[in-house]
Structure 1
Amino acid sequence: SDAPQIRGVTKAAVMSDRAGGPARRRRTTTSDWGAASRGKGPDAGPKVPRCHVLQESLLSSASGYSNYRGILNWCVVMLVLSNARLFLENIIKYGILVDPIQVVSLFLKDPYSWPAACLIIGEDLRLRASCEEEADLTAGTFSETSGWILHIFNLLFMLVFSSVTVLTVPSLTPVGGVLSLGVYTVLFLKLYSYQDANRWCRESRQAEAKRPNVANGSAVRSHVSYPGNLTHRDMYYFILAPTLCYQLNFPRSHRIRKRFLMRRLFEMLFLMQLLVGLIQQWMVPTIQNSMRPFQEMDFSRMVERLLKLAVPNHLIWLIFFYWFFHSSMNFVAELLQFGDREFYRDWWNSESVTYFWANWNIPVHKWCLRHFYKPMLRRGINKFLAQTFVFLLSAFFHEYLVSVPLKMFRLWAFMGMMTQVPLAWFVGRYLNGNYGNAAVWMSLIIGQPIAVLMYVHDYYVIHYGSSS
């Protein structure tokens, strides 16, 4: 008789076929072991409950586990506690620095002189003139070439006139200059889109006039058709609407949701006060204490000040993003019953720099895509060069909005935007997934404070260096 075998053989079982063939061994399987524990199979034994199965550890990638909500909550709690300590330390060290009255002085030097408001209101004449120019082009008063030259002159005059006014009017504060130039930049982009879209309508109308006219049902009276859109009412609706791209018929919501409107209004008021408080209480002291290490070129202290400034700066930037792109733009859209509410996408999941810039500011992205990027592609320019020109345009307006109000030209904002081009290439080529997302977050958290410190240092040296 055969002795029982161990490790893989049940027992040297002698199995003869009906003709009395030779014996052969049979290996055990997983089912045999399971059957044995239940009192079945070739190795049936005492009934012992199983407590082990084939499985991976929960944090292993092979486990397929993905519910980390508790860890996310832990991160939020740690973040709140860490910032609460910083806030308490700030209060103990500096006291209460929040002063709402001081905010008024940032916009006005003289309560009887409102240069920024006058500069913005004066642009109304140019809006009316643009509408009349489009009507004259439709009527054939002057040629398309003459109209194009006139449009370009008007747009360039907007930028030059606003810049000269900010640089030469002494009663205009830097904050008032940023506000007025920001409005002029938005109007520049809107008027460019308005004139571009109406030119496309004229070209389409001329092309249709050459085709045989075939009736196809009745016209839809609820929609505006060219040139019926060339009215002041239509122009002002587009100017106030939260979009930079003009079209004849915007999607409209059916009614104004009063509760939604009041929630957005409350968010706007609360977050604005929070932004002002954080800037006065947290940002300003940190920036003031950063000037001496920059003057002494103490590299280690400079890095420490930069990292200390990164936290409040990034928090303020995130709050500003929510205040502007969600609360304010949704408030205006709801008030005007503007239907397209896609003002941002999931930029926080960006795994590349290009994805971030294409998704964090949808109105600007749509304008660049429609009026700048695609026209260059149609003219035969390759994609990389077209993207570089888009970043170049963005860098120009970033520098325009910072250097002109501060009345100093250092090109820090311009260079910061242009460094996004090689950074986008590097992240897209060598990093992906979580590593790419981390690189995007690092550029946002560290890059902005560097530019802030550069401008504040230069402004401090120019205006207060001699007195210190």
Structure 2
Amino acid sequence: MVNMLTFPAAVVLLVPSVTPVGGVFVVGTHTILFLKLYSYKDVNKWCRELSRVKAKKLARSLSCPSAQHLNGGDRKVCYPGNLTIRDMYYFVFAPTLCYELNFPRSPNIRMSFLLRRLFEMLFFMQMLVGLTQQWMIPIIESSMKPLEDMDLTRMTERLLRLAVPNHLLWLMFFYGFFHSSMNFSAELLRFGDRQFYNDWWNSETVTYFWQNWNIPVHKWCLRHFYKPLLRRGFSKMVSQSAVFFLSAFFHEYLVSIPLRMFRLWAFTGMMAQIPLAWLVGRYLRGNYGNAAVWMSIIIGQPFAVLMYVHDFYVLHYRQEAD
């Protein structure tokens, strides 16, 4: 399974014709497949262990939950009846990272709902490309000189100018991906669990934001990483820190590989979410906590964008010019 991460990374790093956009797509796709296959392996391992014990009633209740519909059919599936190519492919394309033997299924495909989500996907894709080219790129290009000269005043001005389009694009990407595209694939596959996000915009703590803005990843981390660490005897603090470390690793992996550079400041910046979450949760409440979360989103992301673009420019374009 490690090859799911190392092979695409090696291809992106060794093949010069792979662009950063193409690298993000390839690395992101293989990362999703890695998480899905890990969940598939874990769940079938748990079912296999249950089948070995003599508590057949308990094993049947855990491996065969009650459901009206299942992956690709209308009957319940029990282990090892789920070990089919059809079942695996359904899980690969389903908008979830956590495998189940019997997914909840919707009764039919609503064409009007499907077409609305398709229109939203196409609309936001065009908007993201257009606003990036017409708004963000000129600001980023004008920011290279202040960054090189370490002009703090102009750097701050460029950062604040970049914060507006960056945040707008982030919101559009969130809606286009987590609502439009995931609901589109769910409707097409009659996938019944549509909880892809919660009310993260009302977050009063950083922890609540990370737990609710990306439900599929949160469920995977909780089920396959956090709880196994607790069962092994680790404390909650250590387990939470390990989850943040894993998240920081994958965030840096998804960015550093396509850009062909690793930046320790970005990795430590992700890990800085741990003391930030502690400080906000301890000293800020209500609207003040919500304001702190929003400020970390609005200011933190454009700062990271500027740093990455600057380093990418220095490494790849200035060296060629010299």
Same fold (TM over 0.5): yes
Tell me the residue number matched to 1:222: 75
Mapped partners of 1:317, 1:446: distance in 2:
12
Are residues 167 and 211 of structure 1, via their aligned partners in 2, closer, same or farther at CA, if it must alter by over 3 Å?
same
Tell me the residue number matched to 1:38: none
Give 2:17's match in structure 1, choosing from 160, 171, 183: 171
Are residues 212 and 365 of structure 1, via their aligned partners in 2, closer, same or farther at CA, if it must alter by over 3 Å?
closer
1:310 aligns with 2:163: yes
Mapped partners of 2:39, 2:318: distance in 1:
44
1:209 Cα deviation (Å)? 6.3
Any idea what SS the aligned residue of 1:409 has? coil
1:432 aligns with 2:285: yes
1:210 Cα deviation (Å)? 7.5
1:259 aligns with 2:112: yes
Mapped partners of 2:244, 2:205: distance in 1:
15
Following superposition of structure 1 onto structure 2, how do residues 139-288 of structure 1 map, counting pairs within 5 Å? 155-208=1-54, 222-288=75-141
Give 1:334's match in structure 2, choosing from 162, 166, 187: 187
Displacement over 2 Å in runs of 4+: 208-214
TM-score, normalisation: structure 2: 0.93
Tell me the residue number matched to 1:452: 305
Mapped partners of 1:374, 1:365: distance in 2:
12
Mapped partners of 1:364, 1:290: distance in 2:
34
1:388 aligns with 2:263: no
Are residues 248 and 211 of structure 1, via their aligned partners in 2, closer, same or farther at CA, if it must alter by over 3 Å?
closer
The percent of aligned pairs where both chains have the same amino acid is 71
Tell me the residue number matched to 2:268: 415
The one-character-per-residue Cα deviations of 1:271-310 (angstroms, maximum 9, x if unpaired) are 1000100000000000000000000000011001000000
Are residues 291 and 203 of structure 1, via their aligned partners in 2, closer, same or farther at CA, if it must alter by over 3 Å?
same
Any idea what SS the aligned residue of 1:208 has? coil
Q: Which amino acid in the other structure matches residue 265 of structure 1?
A: L
Mapped partners of 1:439, 1:256: distance in 2:
41
Tell me the residue number matched to 1:116: none
Mapped partners of 2:58, 2:255: distance in 1:
54
Q: Which has the higher contact order (CA 8 A, sep 6+)?
A: 2
How many correspondences in the alignment? 310
Q: CA RMSD in A?
A: 1.8
Mapped partners of 2:232, 2:95: distance in 1:
30
Residue pair 2:107, 2:190 contacting (<8 A) in 1 also: yes
Structure (1/2) with the larger helix percentage = 2
1:465 aligns with 2:311: no
Are residues 212 and 444 of structure 1, via their aligned partners in 2, closer, same or farther at CA, if it must alter by over 3 Å?
closer
Residue pair 1:399, 1:412 contacting (<8 A) in 2 also: no
Query: Which consecutive residues of structure 2, in runs of 5 or more, have no partner in the other structure?
Result: 61-65, 68-73
Tell me the residue number matched to 1:134: none
Mapped partners of 2:268, 2:184: distance in 1:
34
Higher CA-based Rg: 1
The one-character-per-residue Cα deviations of 1:367-423 (angstroms, maximum 9, x if unpaired) are 000000111111111111111100000000001011111111113432221111010
Mapped partners of 1:410, 1:417: distance in 2:
12
Give 1:321's match in structure 2, choosing from 170, 174, 189: 174
Mapped partners of 2:52, 2:218: distance in 1:
30
